[in-house]
Structure 1
Amino acid sequence: MTGSEVPLASPTFRLAYVPGVIPGKWVRIWNERLPDVPLTLTTVPAADAADTLRAGEADAGFVRLPIDRTDLSAIPLYTETTVVLVPKDHLVAAVDEVSIGDLADDLVLHPLDDTLDWGGPLPGLPAKQRPATTADAVELVAAGVGLLVVPQSLARLHHRRDLVYRPVIDAPESRVALSWPEERTTDLVEEFIGIVRGRTVNSTRGRRANQAQAQEQPGASKAKSKAKPKRAEAAGAARRKPAAGRSTGGNPRGGGSGGGSGGSGGAKSGRRGRPGRRS
């Protein structure tokens, strides 16, 4: 290797994910199937996930819908239950579930990174200021300032012993999707899509299929094409060759070489004549 040559870096797969998503099981399967391709994880705010993918800072990512789908492909994976986070001594803690109307008299916090698409009036009484992040809003709930409505995974992520959560039956739900840049659907992206969709090793498309084709011997196709005429020629010869014990010519009634049993193979040579005289 000359001084000007630089060794090629090993391929890597960069996966972004938004808070609340736990990609551990998919990462484990990736490491089992592709141990030669390191997977790196990056946490991104939900509002920045789409721009992170467009900027090429990740090969694929788990995002929360809706997102701007311009230049991005997305496969919806699952929908989360929406819950309200309250202090343990709040009235809501005594019931199994609530509706938006049940929160009308409570101050409900709406952080700037809220991931729910309300599409209308916000529930509850509005706070004077919106917390910057969901983590900040959780601290305010613990301080008794208000309540917080979030996807269940975020309530679990910010779990505290002094807080509980209950399902909100008529609140918007958060959908999680796998997304990637449309023009960069690489073999590694296809591999990860297969893992997320639960494909087995044999059914996974992408890099493995290409590798299997590349491993085929260069002259294999030529050898196969030459073998076909030879097989056809052998088959023709077999058809032309007479079966053992059959005559190829001679007397159609059984004469010819090899036609008789015992003797030289001709027709019976005994002469038929007059019967002898009786004495």
Structure 2
Amino acid sequence: MTGSDAPSSFRLAYVPGVTPGKWVRIWNERLPDVPLHLRTVPSAEAADLLRRGEADAGFLRLPADRAELSVIPLYTETTVVVVPKEHAVAAVDEVAPEELADEIVLHPLDDVLPWERPPGRPARERPATTADAVELVAAGVGLLVVPQSLARLHHRRDLTYRPMPGAAESRVGLAWPEERTTDQVEDFIGIVRGRTVNSSRGRPTPPQPKAKPKPKRADAGGAGRAGTAGRNARRGGPKGDRRGKPRRRSR
């Protein structure tokens, strides 16, 4: 879909924790006539929403089923453990997964980390959402391991978090329906990848009017020689030629 068939707006979906503000700002600067509409979608539903054509592109968490989707991996998040501020973990700079072996670690149903085996001891029941799990951490029921962006999203003054090297990690990517790679999708890919406005896939700048050709100078072998001949005639011939006037003999 190109040219006049392109849509008059761009629909961008994103999962919780992703902050698309910087890319949206660049879009609005480069394409002010194409409104960008944002839509938050649960991580588990993002890929299907794109396949249904309810968004032109979206930021989702990987791995994702790439059937019918094109995906560009973008970055990997730091994994952290969320704890009450008075917890012993809050006194260290980072914690390894095995150090939580005796702790109850909550594992919500919407967990986005690709665990082979979650750390710690499981709670009696799994919280429905990450937001519910955060409330349970605040109540002292257990700890929670999440990508750092989700710890920030659900920040509370009575909680803190610490990095957990060696734990499962969440990767974020940009995806769109492969059969609907529109001009607007290409524009957004260029923005996310940091292309400048004049790059090969950026919007080209308007063509500048061509400068009018300068008039040609007179041919050096024609008018030029004629002008020189005229000057020589007035001066009595070329420089050093004194035949213009007869010389008088001295007596």
**TM-score past 0.5 threshold:** yes
Render the CA deviation track for 1:71-120: whole Å, top value 9, x for unaligned: 111111111100000001111011000001000000000111100001x2
| Alignment match, 2:248 | none
- SS of 2:173's equivalent? strand
Give the C-alpha shift of residue 216 in structure 1. Answer: 10
Other-structure match for 2:30: 33
TM-score (norm 2): 0.80
Which SS does the other structure have where 2:34 is aligned?
Answer: coil
Q: Percent identity?
A: 74
Higher relative contact order (CA 8 A, sep 6+): 2
1:138 and 2:134 aligned: yes
Structure with the greater alpha carbon radius of gyration: 1
| CA deviations over 1:44-81 (Å, ceiling 9, x no partner) | 01111100100101000001100001111111111110
Partner of 2:50: 53
Residue 148 of structure 2 is matched in structure 1 by 152
Structure 1 stretches lacking a partner, 5+ long: 1-7, 218-240, 246-260, 263-279
Aligned counterpart in structure 2 of residue 195 of structure 1, from 185, 188, 191 = 191
Q: 1:176 aligns with which of 172, 177, 186?
A: 172
TM-score of the two chains, using structure 1 as the length reference? 0.72
Q: Distance in 2 between matches of 1:72 and 1:130?
A: 31
Query: How far did residue 205 of structure 1 move?
Result: 1.3
Structure 1 CA distance for aligned equivalents of residues 9 and 74 of structure 2: 24
1:127 to 118, 123, 144: 123
SS in 2 for 1:16: strand
**1:191, 1:204 within 8 Å by CA — same for their partners in 2?**
no
Measure, in 2, the Cα distance between the counterparts of 1:16 and 1:27. 12
Task: State the alpha-carbon separation in 2 of the partners of residues 61 and 117 from structure 1.
Answer: 20
After TM superposition, the runs of 4+ consecutive aligned structure 1 residues lying more than 3 A away are none
Paired residue total: 220
Q: How far is the alpha carbon of 1:173 from its aligned partner?
A: 1.1
1:16 is matched with 13
Matching residue's letter, 1:159: H
Which of 31, 52, 66 is the equivalent residue of 2:63? Answer: 66
- Supply the RMSD in Å over aligned alpha carbons: 2.9
Q: Which residue of 2 aligns with 1:167?
A: 163
Q: Is the 8 A contact 1:194 1:204 kept in 2?
A: no
Offset at 1:127?
1.0
CA contact (8 A) 2:106 2:122 kept: yes
User: 1:39, CA displacement in angstroms?
Assistant: 0.3
1:139 is matched by which residue type in structure 2?
E
Q: Secondary structure at the match of 2:172?
A: strand
